[in-house]
Structure 1
Amino acid sequence: MDTGTHIVMGIALGGLALADPVVASHSITTTAVIAGTIIGSQAPDIDTVLKLRNNAVYIRHHRGITHSIPAVILWPLLISGVLWLIMPDANWLHLWLWTFLAVFVHVFVDIFNSYGTQALRPFSRKWVALGVINTFDPIIFGFHVVGLLFWMLGANPVPTFLIMYIIMVGYYILRFAVQKAVKNSVLHTIPDADEIIVAPTMKFFEWRVAAISKSHHYVGRAYGRSITVYDKFDRVSIPDSDLVTAALKDKNLSAFISFSPIYRWEITEHDQIFEVRLIDLRYRSNDYYPFVAVAHLNEDLEVVNSYTGWIFSEDKLHKKLDFTPL
């Protein structure tokens, strides 16, 4: 989920923690626990700082080790330990338990996005991405904001957030049902599809669609059960050539491949510079595919420059690559 949603989730869990008699009866423990749930709800996303290095490192590692099983165990110990040093009169056990819940909820809700997490590490590096909730879901965010407003206006936070989370469980179940209906509609529209990827948007009934058959890639949108196919590409394996082998060793292209489950490729030549471009088909926006990986190689098959990330125009891509086509 996005940062704002994780913050309101952390505050809501802090309010729900008042159901714990130990927390509710001790003001210092209350303060420590609310701090723990807020910090714990943010801690796994500390790997966002990797973006300061480069996109390749960020794409390969974001929501990786910081969202793993060892991290879910270690984050609460670290956070509760520091808070207990600051507030030694707080009950450490209950501080740790609620901080643990906040960290766990953060990682748990992230697996419902299309981006996903490596939540099964170290047992598996597979990305767990259920693809039923958009990274920012206005309904989930809105329910939390309403719950927090009720709390600010004097409502008891325990029943308020209990009711809210019961509604949230129902909402998640509904999203799975809608996703299944969309996949069935895609299969009806593209009966030869071997693999179907549907990704949520901020609109409840609108989904991004990408499908693979033995011969083609399909890209479209779903509006309820209505499927619109915008693009259809021949499915062609990337060439097994020295040029491609050299390009795929580049950190940007290898990071892209580790993340993208469905992409097409293009190879072009610009004045003795070869361009190898990989294009993720899941994120079509305004007739453009913004998530790409590009490498430029010279005649000696040396990578001159490369880039991976979100680019919404060719001009901006050329600036990132410091390249001007003739």
Structure 2
Amino acid sequence: MDTGTHIVMGIALGGLATLDPAVGPDTATAHAIMIGTILGSQAPDLDTVLKFRNNAQYIRNHRGITHSLPAILIWSLLITGTINIFSSHINLLHLWLWTLLAVVLHVFVDIFNAYGTQALRPFSKKWVALGVINTFDPFIFTAHIIGIIIWALGAHPGYTFLWMYAIIIGYYLIRFWHQKMIFRKVHENFDAVEEIIISPTMRFHKWHLAIMTEDRFYVAHVIEGKIILLDEFDRVPIPKSEVITAAKKDDNISAFLSFSPVYRWEISEYTDHYEVRFIDLRYRSKGYYPFVAIVQLDSRLEIVSSYTGWIFSEAKLRRKLDILPD
């Protein structure tokens, strides 16, 4: 989920904790837990600082080790220990339990996005992405804001957020039902379907699809239950060539390939250089596929420029590469 939603989830958990008999509504432990749940709801996303290094490191590691099973425990212990240094007369066990729940909830809700997490590490590096909830879901965020307002108006925070989470659970079940119906329609309309990658949008009745069949890629929207085909491409295996072998040595390309489950590729040969491009088909905006990896190699197959990340025009991509013209 986005940062704003994680923050309000942390506040909601802090309010929910007032139902804990060991906490109470207005105690030192309750105040410490509120700090713990807010920090715990944010901690796994500290890997965002990798963006300052480069996009390849960010793509390869975001929602990776920081969202793993060991990290969940480490985050909760670090936050609890830090709060304990500055607090007194608090129930340390319950502070840790509620902080742990906040970290667990952060990782858990991220699984429902199309981006997903590597939450099963160290047992598996597989990306777990259920594709049910958009990274920012207006309903979930608004529900939390309403709950916080009701609390501010004097309602009991524990019962307020208990009801709110009951409603949100129902919302998740509805989203799963919608997704199941879409999967069924895809299999009814396409032959030899091997994989369906579904990405929800901020609009309740709109979904994005990337479909892999035996010999084709299809990109489509689902709006109001109707599949609208946008693009289709031949599914051509990546060739085993010297150009591709050289391109895969680039950090940006290898990071992209480690993350993207469905993409097409292009090789362009010019007078004095080659250009290899990989295009993620999960994302489409105004007829453009903005998540790409591209590398330019000279005639000796030495890497001279590369880029991976989100880019929304060819002109901006050329400025990012800033080495060779096409």
Q: TM-score, normalised by structure 1?
A: 0.98
Look up the match of 2:234: 234
Q: Distance in 1 between matches of 2:184 and 2:225?
A: 9
Look up the match of 1:248: 248
Task: Return the letter of the residue paired with 1:49.
Answer: V
Look up the match of 1:224: 224
Q: Distance in 2 between matches of 1:55 and 1:129?
A: 21
Q: Distance in 2 between matches of 1:171 and 1:121?
A: 28
Q: Distance in 1 between matches of 2:130 and 2:155?
A: 34
Could you list the structure 1 runs, at least 4 aligned residues long, displaced by more than 2 angstroms after superposition.
323-326
> Is it true that 1:282 corresponds to 2:282 in the alignment?
yes
> Residues 127-142 of structure 1: matches in 2 within 5 Å?
127-142=127-142
Look up the match of 2:67: 67
Q: Distance in 1 between matches of 2:93 and 2:184?
A: 48
> Residues 85-96 of structure 1: matches in 2 within 5 Å?
85-96=85-96
Contact 1:64 1:119 in 2 (8 A): yes
Look up the match of 1:203: 203
Task: Return the letter of the residue paired with 1:280.
Answer: D
Q: Distance in 2 between matches of 1:189 and 1:223?
A: 15
Aligned residue for 1:66, secondary structure, equals: helix
Look up the match of 1:41: 41
Contact 1:284 1:290 in 2 (8 A): yes
Look up the match of 1:263: 263
Contact 1:270 1:325 in 2 (8 A): no
Look up the match of 1:119: 119
1:237: how far off? 0.8
1:25: how far off? 6.3
1:30: how far off? 1.2
* Alpha-carbon displacement from aligned partner over 1:165-213 (angstroms, at most 9, x marks no partner): 1111111111111001111112222233221111100011100011111
1:23: how far off? 1.2
Look up the match of 1:316: 316
Contact 2:296 2:324 in 1 (8 A): no
Q: TM-score, normalised by structure 2?
A: 0.98
Corresponding residue pairs, total: 326
Aligned residue for 1:88, secondary structure, equals: coil
Aligned residue for 2:267, secondary structure, equals: strand
1:247: how far off? 0.2
Aligned residue for 2:22, secondary structure, equals: helix
Q: Distance in 2 between matches of 1:96 and 1:199?
A: 34
Q: Distance in 2 between matches of 1:196 and 1:36?
A: 38
Q: Distance in 1 between matches of 2:25 and 2:305?
A: 61
- Superposed CA RMSD in Å reads 1.0
Q: Distance in 2 between matches of 1:25 and 1:101?
A: 18
Q: Distance in 1 between matches of 2:123 and 2:195?
A: 25
Task: Return the letter of the residue paired with 2:52.
Answer: L
Look up the match of 2:178: 178
Contact 2:297 2:303 in 1 (8 A): yes
Q: Calculate percent identity across the aligned residue pairs.
A: 60
1:324: how far off? 5.1
1:132: how far off? 0.4
Contact 2:304 2:323 in 1 (8 A): no
Look up the match of 2:145: 145
* Alpha-carbon displacement from aligned partner over 1:245-271 (angstroms, at most 9, x marks no partner): 010111000000111000000001233
Look up the match of 2:10: 10
Task: Return the letter of the residue paired with 1:57.
Answer: Q
